[in-house]
Structure 1
Amino acid sequence: MESQIEQQKSARWTVSKEARSTLKSALRAVLVASVASIVLSACAINQSKPSATDYSNLSQMDAQSNLAQLAARFEANRRDKYAAINFAAALRSAGQAKQAVSVLEITLAYFKDDPDVDIAYAKALTADGRFEQALNVINNTIRPENPNWNALSVKGAILDQMGQNAQARALYNQAMVLAPNEASLEANLGLSYAMTSELERAEIHLKRALAKSGATSRIRQNLALVIGLQGRFDEARAIYSAEL
């Protein structure tokens, strides 16, 4: 009888360990998607600069419509850097990172040493898993005398993917000094802790992110995931259900 109990305990532990491994892998993918994207809304095609609206939660039909319109705008004028940046962002959101890289490589020919284009290019490379190349691009973009919080955030995301979590967190904290109200920075910090299984700290930062103006549905979903990893499934389900 005792042997059966021990076997059952062992089986539960094995399942839990496998589940955590799977979810940890998912968190890595989530971090890339969360940090490496500028998300767009249906109205973004009429704007002259990148949008910060949550594009990732559009319906498939709306997302495809936006992508087609952004593609047309880019093809109409390849010298419009914001058209290229927005189009690349939409491609990333659609899981087409390689195409996003290609679009921005065309744009780089027209905009040498342009911080906006370079940051977008680093994001696309990150989304495509080309971390070393992305790191080289973003390092050339960051100016110590005038740091850009977005560039610092992207570098942090790259370092997280490379397992350099402490350095990544230092960059997120530096970026938060420059942009204290930016929800994505707090969320990135939370996801960084989640990647190293520091779930309580991850939860704290994701809750802070969710309380900030501009918090996205993705942040709420990530919070639900982290809470679920701690075994609080009913609470996680309630948080996630708020998105449905």
Structure 2
Amino acid sequence: MRPWTLYLSFACLVFLSGCASDIISPPHTEHPKLITAQMARSRGDVPEAIHDFREVIKEDVLCEPAYIGLGFSLLDVNAIPESKLTFEKAITLFPKSSDAYVGLGMVHLVMDQPENALEAFEKALCKNPHSARALNGYGIALDMLGDHELAQANYRAAMDLDPLAISYESNLALSMALAGHEAEAIRILERLVCSPNATPRVRQNLALAYGLAGDTNMAKKIGRMDLSDDMVANNVAYMEAIRETKNYAGIIPKNHTVPLDETRPWQESD
């Protein structure tokens, strides 16, 4: 398994381990339980959220936010096939839903299918050209394919649409590091980690940038802030390997949940 991931802040945290995605659909006043489900997911109680979203769907099979919330909640717990089916059903029921295509794109990223992810994000952007999340996901897929320059253009576009989302700039910086601009990436990430909104993903992106720059000691020091020694050692070994080969494409692991606004660290802690 490849231990690195770009996102995604994203999640989706810990690019967001075990944390809820930033996608919380507007509540339906007809479904108080939908609000309960969204609140459960926002506080990290994903099993309760899954249960409540399913209950809402039982009562109203045309409640779009419930399908979107369920799809991302399933993605949070690595229930990849079920998440994929949920988003596909949402697309069938709500063909104009940009969020449903974004969710499907995230599933394809987790499945290590960047080409399919690009197609899904393109459809999301056709539905909503101003979707920062779709642009961010598109950038991640491009980074997986090694097209860092175009990926960075998408991250910048996402930042323009949502300048308060720290994850997009974090992904931009990591993409710069992967493209060989480690010093600039470190400068950006050092600033971001001082933000009150900084997440473990931002710190681990900084660790990766230091590693790609050849500063293994700093990479280890920062890595240990969120990960076990074994995980850090594994990540450093992988980092050294990609530095030697200069092969920075395809760095998101296959069995990895990706929340909408940032992805999880290279390897997840318990």
TM-score normalised according to structure 2 size: 0.63
**Does 1:37 pair with 2:20?**
no
**Does 1:129 pair with 2:112?**
yes
Q: 1:224 Cα shift?
A: 1.9
Q: 1:168 Cα shift?
A: 0.9
Percent identity over the alignment is: 26
* Aligned residue among 26, 36, 39 for 1:46: 36
Per the alignment, residue 27 of structure 2 pairs with none
| 1:114 maps to amino acid | S
Per the alignment, residue 69 of structure 1 pairs with 48
Q: 176-185 vs 226-235, which deviates more?
A: 226-235
Q: 1:189 Cα shift?
A: 0.8
Distance 1:174 1:52 in 2: 26
| 1:139 maps to amino acid | E
Per the alignment, residue 174 of structure 2 pairs with 191
**Does 1:117 pair with 2:96?**
no
Aligned 1:7-26 pairs, distance under 5 A:
25-26=2-3
Per the alignment, residue 106 of structure 1 pairs with 89
Per the alignment, residue 150 of structure 2 pairs with 167
* Residues 132 and 161, structure 2, Cα contact 8 Å, conserved in 1: yes
Question: Please, which runs of 5 or more residues in structure 2 have no aligned partner?
Answer: 14-18, 25-34, 228-270
Question: Please, which runs of 5 or more residues in structure 1 have no aligned partner?
Answer: 1-21, 56-65
**Does 1:180 pair with 2:157?**
no
* Residues 9 and 201, structure 2, Cα contact 8 Å, conserved in 1: yes
Residues 111-130 of structure 1: per-residue CA shift (max 9 Å, x gap): 22112222222222222223
Residues 82-131 of structure 1: per-residue CA shift (max 9 Å, x gap): 33333332333333333321121122232221122222222222222232
Distance 1:50 1:152 in 2: 27
Distance 2:40 2:161 in 1: 19
* Residues 68 and 87, structure 2, Cα contact 8 Å, conserved in 1: yes
How many pairs are equivalent? 206
* Aligned residue among 218, 226, 231 for 2:201: 218
Q: 125-134 vs 234-243, which deviates more?
A: 234-243
Larger Rg: 1
| 1:106 maps to amino acid | K
Q: 111-120 vs 207-216, which deviates more?
A: 207-216
Distance 1:147 1:136 in 2: 17
Residues 24-83 of structure 1: per-residue CA shift (max 9 Å, x gap): x533xx115554638418xx8835489677x5xxxxxxxxxx343232123213344333
Query: Which is richer in helix?
Result: 1
With a CA cutoff of 8 Å and minimum separation of 6, indicate the structure with the bigger relative contact order.
Answer: 2
Q: Secondary structure at the match of 2:193?
A: helix
Q: Secondary structure at the match of 2:93?
A: coil
| 2:70 maps to amino acid | F
| 1:209 maps to amino acid | L
Residues 140-194 of structure 1: per-residue CA shift (max 9 Å, x gap): 2225995221111111111111222111111111221222221101111122123
* Residues 159 and 165, structure 1, Cα contact 8 Å, conserved in 2: yes
Check 1:110–1:237 CA distance in 2 against 1; reply closer, same or farther (3 A cut).
same
Distance 1:191 1:142 in 2: 23
Q: 147-156 vs 97-106, which deviates more?
A: 97-106
Residues 203-231 of structure 1: per-residue CA shift (max 9 Å, x gap): 22322332445321121122123223434
* Residues 84 and 104, structure 1, Cα contact 8 Å, conserved in 2: yes
Distance 1:134 1:95 in 2: 17
| 1:175 maps to amino acid | A
Q: Secondary structure at the match of 1:125?
A: helix
Distance 2:12 2:94 in 1: 20
